[in-house]
Amino acid sequence: MPLWSRQRESEGDSLPTLIVKSEKEEHRIPFSLGQSLREILDGSHVRVRAGCRGTGACGLCLVRIEAGQVDEPKPTEITLLGAAQLAQGIRLACQAMPHQDLQIAIVAPAPESAWRSLPPENGRRVRPASAFPLGDAPTKVKEPYGIAVDLGTSHISLSLLDLSSGDYLAGRHGPNPQMRFGSDVMTRLAAASESSERALAMRRQIAEAIGEALWDIASREGIDLQQVVSLALVGNTAMLALLSGRNYSQLLQPNNWTKAIDCLPDHTDSWLEVWGIHPAASIQVIPPLAGFVGSDLLAGAVTTRLTEDGAGCLLIDFGANSEIALWDGDVLWVTSAAGGPAFEGSGINCGLPAEPGAIYRVIAQQDGMLDFEVIGGGPPRGICGSGLVDLIANLVRSGRLTNMGRFAPSVSQNGFALTRGEPNVFLTKAGVDVFQRAKAAIGAGIQILLAQARMQYKDLRRICVGGAFGSFLDIVNAQEIGLLPKVPPEVVELCGNTALAGCEDIILSDVAAQHLARLRGRLEFINLAQYLNFDDIFLEQLYLQPTQGE
């Protein structure tokens, strides 16, 4: 049986490809029809210079069409570019709409940046209607804007919103710079507790990173940050405590894990200056729930309307610190699971976040080969969480990996090569172990919440999967190895970044904010570390098989 794989060609057959050529390299970017060249580029790591929200007013996003066809020049392009440039194939990327394979050169490349536009899976490019009625927009400025921020362990995501209409205007997604102090929250908390200077540096890093993301939006979208009059921020408890610089050391003490941690900032005036928003802007840090259950989970429960559809609704927000909520019709049972960084592409020797270059889908073929698809097309640089789920599920299904996580004799005990070359995407036994521990923590959390609510797996009527990891997840594969409960697949909803979407709702709507406040009174927090049979349940959940029980 073949032990290595090939890249799937059908992705290129089903989607047209944008080829971006430069003197140094060539990028191949599959795209969906209906997007402008700028939208396609902004979703990749190749960006063109820009200074407006795609209206063509700035005239900066110059590209040259080298092969293929795009639609006819718009009046804006005829005015700004003129006949000579148009004859040379020069177009404005925000106005040119490709309908087939296309090859271009970027005439005006953007400076390198760690910040990328939010893809549809992680943010709302189009917001046709608010999930809740809009609140009254502040009147400090003529066109008031709001910013929603999801402060994650690995990444930070932001949305820019029109407070009057509720429209989504722009968004950014980038790495949390605190990663250099540790990929998990406990390592960072310990680092901050050991040194006040280090704690201050970590606090400044987050504030400055948010400021960089805001400046990237302002400079590329033609936004005046002085129009931002409201900002709301959600995150897990550890990230909020490190941002505020308050009581983060309490999270290192297990007896505090069931208690509310006061980690709201004493003042935010310094942030206003760093971020460059309106000097009288309102900054709201949504407080966490308890221990390691943050306001990001609560925001997710708001936007998914988890408590409005009867009992048996489950929300799993996958991440380095995964959080789970179960609604039993009267109480919202919540917990956090130390899933580790496996779902976000860390802790695995060939792991990557869900970004261009990451294998996000693995498909078995009849000949035993495993095809794969790469975010953004082109050669793979590694594998992200959803690709890892597919790979492990296919290896178990084919008998090359046992349900205990051991490779079969037909596979090298060093591991399984999904690709060969540079880089070599290679799944080792250590990588399987990391994934098993992460999925066992999630499974144990779900099973314990069900027990507390006196419910069974069969009582689950709706499962909402949050986080960037969930955006690409193959539901059936996840169920086959026990990552998700074995329920009808149509019951499972892939909701993307529920934390950011919920933060958007809260900043836009008084009704959403009131709903959030009501949820706090219906909560029961379960500390898995103190649960009597946790170790036994965790060990049962290590098996790579469907969930057991009714």
What are the pLDDT digits (tens) for 372-390?
888 766 778 888 888 999 9
d(CA 334, CA 399): 36
In the chain, the amino acid numbered 339 is G
Using DSSP bridges, classify how beta strands 228-235 and 168-175 pair: parallel, antiparallel or unpaired: unpaired
Nearest to 171 by CA among 83, 39, 8, 36: 39
pLDDT band at 260 (very low <50, low <70, confident <90, very high): confident
pLDDT band at 116 (very low <50, low <70, confident <90, very high): confident
Query: DSSP secondary-structure letter at 190?
Result: H
pLDDT at residue 94, as a whole number: 93
Query: DSSP secondary-structure letter at 463?
Result: E
pLDDT at residue 11, as a whole number: 41
d(CA 100, CA 116): 24
Handedness of CA 148, 150, 155, 156 (dihedral sign): positive
Torsion of CA 304, 309, 312, 314, to 10 degrees: 0
Judged by average pLDDT, the poorest of 236-240, 339-343, 469-473 is: 339-343
pLDDT band at 4 (very low <50, low <70, confident <90, very high): very low
pLDDT at residue 453, as a whole number: 96
The mean pLDDT of 93-111, rounded to a whole number, is 91
pLDDT band at 2 (very low <50, low <70, confident <90, very high): very low
The mean pLDDT of 286-302, rounded to a whole number, is 90
SS3 378: coil
pLDDT at residue 10, as a whole number: 40
pLDDT at residue 125, as a whole number: 37
Average pLDDT value over all residues in the chain = 87
d(CA 46, CA 458): 46
pLDDT at residue 14, as a whole number: 61
d(CA 224, CA 141): 11
pLDDT band at 529 (very low <50, low <70, confident <90, very high): confident
d(CA 550, CA 535): 21
d(CA 99, CA 111): 28
Backbone torsion region of residue 278, taken as left when φ is above 0, otherwise alpha when ψ lies between -120 and 50, otherwise beta:
beta
Element (H, E) at 65: strand 62-67
The mean pLDDT of 413-431, rounded to a whole number, is 82
Res 222 pLDDT > 50:
yes
pLDDT band at 8 (very low <50, low <70, confident <90, very high): low
pLDDT at residue 478, as a whole number: 95
Strand partners, 334: 325, 525
pLDDT at residue 298, as a whole number: 94
Return the exposure string of 378-390: e unless at least 16 CB atoms fall within 10 Å of the residue's CB, then b. Answer: bebbbbbbbbbbb
Per the model's pLDDT, the better-predicted residue between 47 and 149 turns out to be 149
Instruction: Give the pLDDT confidence of 15-69 residue by residue, as tens digits.
Output: 788 999 877 778 888 887 888 999 888 877 788 999 888 889 899 999 999 999 8
d(CA 373, CA 363): 8
Judged by average pLDDT, the poorest of 186-195, 270-279, 295-304, 409-418 is: 409-418
Whole-model pTM: value is 0.87
pLDDT at residue 231, as a whole number: 97
Asked if 447 and 344 touch (Cβ cutoff 8 Å), the reply is no
d(CA 229, CA 163): 9
pLDDT at residue 490, as a whole number: 93
Domains assigned to the chain: 31-106 (3.10.20.30), 116-296 (3.30.420.480), 299-341+441-541 (3.30.420), 342-434 (no CATH)
State phi, psi for 51 to the nearest 5 degrees.
-150, 15
Res 421 pLDDT > 70:
no
What is the number of other CB atoms lying within 10 angstroms of the CB of residue 428? Answer: 16
d(CA 253, CA 235): 20
pLDDT at residue 414, as a whole number: 81
Angle at 505 between CA 50 and CA 522, to 5 degrees: 150
Instruction: Give the pLDDT confidence of 315-355 residue by residue, as tens digits.
Output: 999 887 889 999 999 999 999 887 666 776 666 778 887 77
Res 480 pLDDT > 90:
yes
Give me the helices (H) in 378-497, please: 385-397, 429-452, 468-471, 475-480
d(CA 65, CA 347): 41
Res 128 pLDDT > 50:
no
- In sequence order, the 6+-apart residues with CB closer than 8 A to the CB of 118 are 125, 157, 159, 171, 172, 173
- In sequence order, the 6+-apart residues with CB closer than 8 A to the CB of 219 are 51
Nearest to 123 by CA among 156, 86, 84: 156
SS3 283: strand
Query: DSSP secondary-structure letter at 220?
Result: H
- In sequence order, the 6+-apart residues with CB closer than 8 A to the CB of 262 are 246, 247
Whether the bond between 254 and the residue before it is cis, its omega within 30 degrees of 0, is: no
pLDDT at residue 3, as a whole number: 38
Compute the radius of gyration of the chain from its Cα atoms.
24
Instruction: Give the pLDDT confidence of 155-203 residue by residue, as tens digits.
Output: 899 999 999 999 999 999 998 999 888 877 888 999 999 999 999 999 9
Res 304 pLDDT > 80:
yes
d(CA 404, CA 389): 15
d(CA 434, CA 360): 18
